[in-house]
Amino acid sequence: MSLTDDIPAPWRISDTGSALKITDARGRSVAWVYYRREDALGAEYLTRDQAVEMAKAIARLSRD
């Protein structure tokens, strides 16, 4: 039994403008990956491109 057995595939990624939301086939949230635009000041944040790569890696877990 894997950690994702009770979270039905496929998992989808949607962009909310400041985060990428990963949802399962039922529409339940699996994960959120937050990012900041390139011009944001302050602490180190993920760029949108980095967040997309992370969200894709999370979504691939539904196929394992």
Residue 60, both tokens: 């691939």
R_g of the chain, CA atoms, integer Å: 13
Collapsed DSSP state (helix, strand, coil) of residue 19: strand
* pLDDT at res. 59: 95
Question: pLDDT tens digit string along 1-55?
Answer: 566 678 999 999 999 999 999 999 999 999 999 999 766 666 688 999 999 999 9
Tell me if 25 sits within 8 A of 10, measured CB to CB.
yes
Could you give the CA distance from residue 16 to residue 5 in angstroms, rounded to a whole number?
A: 27
Residues in the chain: 64
Collapsed DSSP state (helix, strand, coil) of residue 47: coil
